[in-house]
Chain A
Amino acid sequence: MQPLDRVIRTRRALAATIAARAVLGGVATVLLTAAVLTAALRRSGVTTSSVVWLVAGLAGATALALLVRAWSRLTVPGVALWIEERVPALQYALVTAVDPAGAGPGAPFLEREIERVVWDREASRAMVRGLRWPVLAALGGLTAFLMSLRVGVGAAVERDRATPSVTATAARDVPAPFARLVATVRSPAYAGGQEVRVESPASIAALVGSTVVLEAPGSSDGVTAYVGDRSITVQHVGTTWRTTVTVESRPTVVRLRHASAERLVALEPRSDSVPVVRLLAPARDTVVRTPRGELRLSAEAHDDIGLATVAFEYIVSSGEGESFHFRSGTLGMRRVDSGRELRIDASLSLDRLGLKPGDMVHLRAVAHDRNNVSGPGAGASETRVLRVARAGEYDSIAVEGAPPPEADKSLISQRMLIMLTEALEKRRPTLAHETLLSESRQIARDETRLRKRVSDIIFQRLGDNPTGEEGREPDEVLPADSASPVVDSTRRDSVRRAAARAGRTPREIAATDSADSARAALLRAASTATGRGDEILDFAGDETPVVAINRPLLEAYNAMWEASRELDQGETGRALPPMRRALAAIQRARQAERIYLRGKAPAVVVDLARVRLTGKEHGAASTRLPRPPTDPAAARRAARLAAAIELASRSPAAAIDSMVLLRVESADAAPQLAAALGDALAAMRSGREATGLLVRARRIAEGTLRASGQLSGWSGVW
């Protein structure tokens, strides 16, 4: 091919490249212009219109015309020069070869020179490079345009819950008297009092207690305003009219009316959440053997608006059984001037709490926020429990539901024992002696168990072995020979001591003696306290601390001894007076501090067959009142929504108003529906496709769509 032909071929390719660049540049210009205009118009509440495309088209055509001007420079020498610039190896041979004036005898030489250089590929690469930026520009324009479609209509960016957010409506959809309505929303003072001002508001979401001022230019004549059914004042201020409303805890709609025009503004309350508090230390419940030292406390609190105070709270529980007393307090309190987060640390002195074995300390952190509209919200952390182990106790981390131990029996109260004894005494004339003795001894065993419980309490207070009770075991059966002597307590002590010494080391004997001395001392103290003792009193006059604290219980203890003795002999009549004395003493002790001498009870299996319908009294028939439907308004809401959707094709503005009202009314009873309607309304106001969102809202309003994939042989869906 001749150089000239090759240059002409390259020229055609260049022309196509220039055309492509112009087209791409024009498209990029159109898209970028449309993106900018769309975003700006949607931001100001105007939906995109054909004007946008007209302007964008003009801009694109201008760009195309400008870019395509390069075509005029596509002469053969110009193209040859373009090639020479990119392929210096040609050394202007190509320009000379295609120049009509430059032809001549040197043409074959020039052709050979030109043939030696491969310049087609370089030219192609240069043309492709020339298309790179226009392609990128077109893609960028497309991206910008797509993003501009996502711009909401007049939405304020919600930075935090304290800042109100207002949705505006398209100006063309608003009736004339309210076309320039402006809303100024101020959050409550405790939340910072921020102010947001928006034109043409459709719905306002703000904290409860926020103030909303709606105003528009013009006279207030003929303008009325309602919140729900309540009329609110409309004032004339300067050249505008104005009405003020406070955001309440329930969603409402503000209706503005003028002649036949109406404007709705929905008020959606945003609730102030309670602070969230986390107890960092202690990290878990604890059991300690000795309550000494400092317990490190640490917590962090967070609030959505602002914290007021953060502190630790503790409750100390002391006691056991059914006798407890409590102390509580706070520590480490910090007041917060501003800020939503705080970490507090403190230490709790266990020494100063004066904890005893069995005591429990409940710990938690509590925070209050600054809400002074609906009351300060209080948030609390999880509670940690610190327990002081009892002496001789091992830690238990699980409670097993074990079956009741076989040998265990329920201990009954002293009062019950008296009643049993009285009943037995009444039946004495009719009972055989053996029967009487057997039953009497059964009561004696119960009495002994109860007496053991009393001694447990007394010994616990001494810090001594709670099983220091002497005497036979409760289940120990006496010899059948009723004439066997019953050894009194003092002599029994001597017998036991003697038996214990046999075959023991001195140390063991000393330990036993010590225990025996304690027991003996208890008996003597009881005798002294009750004035009923024997000659073994070691001291008189000053009472020991044991006596001072436990006088009623010691009295009961002694009386129970006496009663057991009599009952063991079958002397129910002689057992009753000491039993009654014991009861009186227990009552006195209970009045001072509550002690229920019933002992630990096992699980009881009720013999249903035995007791079924044996009650002496009878109940009475009664009437039940019907429950109301769970959500009686659900069907109405579904029907209203269906009607509003049907209305949308005929009157979009009326349909939007209907849905706004429905959304506000659903906010409490059907929050899912309210949210779905919110999405649909936002789409409708901004001119976007809302069909899918309305279908979704409808499905939510109707509840679960019951459907089956086949026709059953029975009516109803399965």
Chain B
Amino acid sequence: MGEHALRVIALAAIATLLWRAVRPPVASGVDVVRGDLQRALTRWTLSPATDMRVVLDAAPDPPTRDWLRALARAGGAFRWSSSRPIGAAAVVAEPAAEPNGVTRVRLASANGEAVSVGDDAGTIDTLPRGGAREMELGAIAGAVRASGATFTATSDPRDSVLLRPVLVLGAAGWESKFTIAALEERGWRVASRVRVAPKIDVTQGLLGSIDTARYAAVIVLDSTAGPSSQEITRYARAGGGVILGGSASRGGAFVGIAPGRVGARIAGVAGAVASAAPRTGLGGFPVSSPGADAVVLESRDGVAMIAARRLDAGRVMQVGYDETWRWRMAGGDESAAAHREWWSRLVGAVAYAPLVPRGPGVRSIDETPLASLVAALGPPTPLDAGLVAHGDNARITWMLFIFVAACLIAEWASRRLRGAR
């Protein structure tokens, strides 16, 4: 029975090979290319064809795409099709507004195919089913590449950011101490004024007027900065970044610029600072009634804890947590590093950080392969049977041949082993 089955399978494969050999060709006069485009492009460049068809199984690289576009516009009919769906993807790498040269990479890919993100030094991350991803990477070698089965998107951070110090205002206490410490340990330059007694402050750095020439961001931790509210408002409108922490907005000094109102204080979940969701263990003042232009960045049990908004040229963030220092002290062994990273991201998300172009010598980028292909060559044409069948797809032929041979050898071996002829 098994030998019969093997014979039938071998015969079917032979029939397939025969059919592939005798199927009708495409219309005459049409030059169809699939697979390796280089030889065809060279041929078309030297001897232009009147009707050029290209079947792509992946988005070509920018030089090939440009070449195709040039040929398409040189006269003659040009159409392209894809033998399989080419994934729509986009990747962009830009410097983050944080110290130590952090690069932010944003990626989006449709189609559900696996995407590998890496650079010249190798793979950084993989997305098994595509989708969206935002990453922040410490160091990039060369360009960032997002590769799927049908595309390779590349991007390169072309600019650097100019970061100025951060100004921290508040009363002396654990929150101001550890917030300043976290930012400094993370590499930020910090200027600060913390109130110890009436007219007695502990200061750091050069404290001048609050403007974007001096500070990348201003962090207001409590109501002690109320007298400077107007100056801070002007600063935000001019492009500065402001973070209103904890109870800073309670006194009403910043109600005009805050993304929302200050809700009644809620307690943290006992013991949760050492868990995988440490901020659930922190108490704070929720952002209640966020404005229409507010973007809620973090919420907990349906209550917004962090929200941000754009204010003219600047950005204002309202952070409800008022004792983030507990996370650093009472969290796990990595809590100090996590606390640092978190504060640095908060500041980076609002900081005034003008971009400085790096200059010439940037690598070739191709941030949206499919979109660029369509923009260059127009939309694809449907793939008809002739195009599918055309071309010596030697690999399939060889696979079928090996399959036939394997079936026949197996059938022979089975017969011989049982002693039959």
Which residues of A pack against B, CB within 8 Å? 9-13, 15-17, 20, 613, 618-630, 632, 634-635, 638-639, 641-643, 645-646, 691, 694-695, 698-699, 701-718
Report Cα–Cα, A12/B125, bound state, in Å.
Answer: 57
Given A629-B185, A709-B131: A635 in contact with B122 (beta carbons within 8 A): no
| Contact code string B407-421 (vs A, CB < 8 Å = 1, else 0) | 000000100111111
| Inter-subunit contact A642/B141 (CB<8 Å) | yes
Specify the chain B residue showing the minimal Cβ separation from A643: B141
Residues of chain A within 8 A (CB-CB) of B297 are: 712, 714, 718
Interface pick from B7-15, B192-200, B384-392:
B192-200
Whether the pair A708, B203 counts as a contact (CB closer than 8 A) is no
Least distance between A388 CB and chain B CB atoms (Å)? 39
Contact of A619 among B138, B139, B140, B197 (CB under 8 A): B197
Beta-carbon contacts under 8 Å, B74-118 to A: 96, 99-101, 104, 106, 108
Give the residue name and chain of the B residue nearest to A711 (CB): B132
Choose, from B54-62, B264-272, B341-349, B374-382, the stretch at the interface: B341-349
Q: How far is the CA of A704 from the CA of B295 in the complex (A)?
A: 25
Residues of chain B lying within 8 A (CB to CB) of residue A626: 184, 189-190, 204-205
Interface string of B124-142 (1 = CB under 8 A from A): 1100000111111111111
Most buried by B among A11, A624, A709: A624
Q: Does B187 belong to the interface (CB within 8 Å)?
A: yes
Residues of A within 8 A of B21 (CB): none
A9-B420, A691-B122, A717-B345 are contacts. A709–B133 as well, Cβ < 8 Å?
yes
Contacts of A702 in B (CB 8 A): 137-139
Residues on B with C-beta less than 8 A from A619 are: 196-197, 200
Which residues from B are CB-within-8-Å of A641? 121, 139
A698 vs B104: C-alpha distance when bound (angstroms): 17
Is A618 within 8 A of B417, CB to CB? no
- Find out whether the CB atom of B104 lies under 8 angstroms from the CB atom of A13: no
With an 8 A cutoff between CB atoms, is B326 at the interface? Answer: no
B53 an interface residue at 8 Å Cβ cutoff? no
Contact indicator A16/B417 (Cβ below 8 Å): yes
Contact B416 A15 (CB under 8 A): yes
Point out the residues of chain B lying under 8 angstroms from A632, CB to CB. Answer: 187
Bin the interface of chain B by size: 35 or more
Answer whether A642 and B139 are a contact pair too, CB < 8 Å, given A13-B419, A717-B104: yes
Chain B residues within an 8 Å CB radius of A621? 199-203
Indicate whether A634 sits within 8 Å of B138 (C-beta atoms), given known contacts A13-B418, A628-B184.
yes
Q: Within the complex, which residue of A635, A691, A694, A717 is in contact with B135, where a contact is CB–CB below 8 Å?
A: A717
| 4 additional contacts (CB under 8 A) given A635-B139, A701-B139, A716-B349 | A626-B205, A698-B122, A699-B124, A705-B137
Question: Contacts A695-B122, A704-B341 hold; do A718 and B298 have CB atoms under 8 A apart?
Answer: yes
B159 adjacent to chain A (CB < 8 Å): no
What residues of B have a CB within 8 angstroms of the CB of A17 in the complex?
417
With contacts A12-B419, A16-B416 taken as known, whether A713 is within 8 angstroms of B295 at the C-beta atoms is yes
Q: What separation, in Å, do the CA atoms of A695 and B100 have in the docked complex? A: 20
A698 to B137, CA, bound (A): 10
Q: How far does the Cβ of B21 sit from chain A's closest Cβ, in whole Å?
A: 35
Chain A residue numbers with a CB within 8 Å of B133 are: 707-709
A618 B200 Cβ-Cβ under 8 A: yes
A691→B120 CA distance, assembly (Å) = 13
Q: In the complex the two chains form, what is the Cα distance from A707 to B421 in whole Å?
A: 65
**Contact partner, B141, options A10, A627, A646, Cβ 8 Å:** A646
- Which of A613, A618, A712 is B134 in contact with, Cβ under 8 Å? A712
Instruction: Check A624–B192 contact: CB distance below 8 A.
Output: yes
Q: Does B186 contact A (CB under 8 A)?
A: yes
- Are A707 and B119 touching (Cβ within 8 A)? no
Distance of A708 Cα from B104 Cα, bound (Å): 12
Tell me if B340 is interfacial: C-beta within 8 Å of chain A: yes
Beta-carbon nearest neighbor of B345 in chain A: A716
- Contacts of A694 on B, CB cut-off 8 Å? 121-122
Q: B38 on the interface (CB 8 Å rule)?
A: no
A20 to B416, CA, bound (A): 11
Q: Evaluate contact between B340 and A639: CB separation under 8 angstroms.
A: no
A711 touching B106, Cβ below 8 Å: yes
Q: Is residue B181 contacting chain A, with contact meaning CB distance below 8 A?
A: yes
Contacts of B96 in A (CB 8 A): 716
By a CB distance below 8 angstroms, the chain A residues around B196 are: 619
Do B197 and A613 have beta carbons less than 8 Å apart?
yes
Distance A714 CA – B346 CA, assembled complex (angstroms): 11
Judging by beta carbons under 8 Å apart, are B337 and A703 in contact? yes
Q: Tell me which of B108, B121, B134, B341 contacts A698 (CB under 8 A).
A: B121
Instruction: Please give me the residue from chain A that is nearest to B142 by CB atom.
Output: A646
Partner of B138, one of A12, A635, A645, A710: A635
- Give the residue name and chain of the B residue nearest to A8 (CB): B419
Across the two chains, which residue of chain B brings its CB closest to A622?
B202
| Alpha-carbon gap, A403 to B120, bound state (A) | 67
A622 to B180, CA, bound (A): 16
Output the least CB separation between B63 and chain A (Å). Answer: 21
Q: Is B123 an interface residue (CB 8 A)?
A: yes
Distance in angstroms from A244 CB to nearest chain B CB is: 38
Complex: chain B residue closest to A627, CB-CB = B184
Q: How far is the CA of A708 from the CA of B140 in the complex (A)?
A: 19
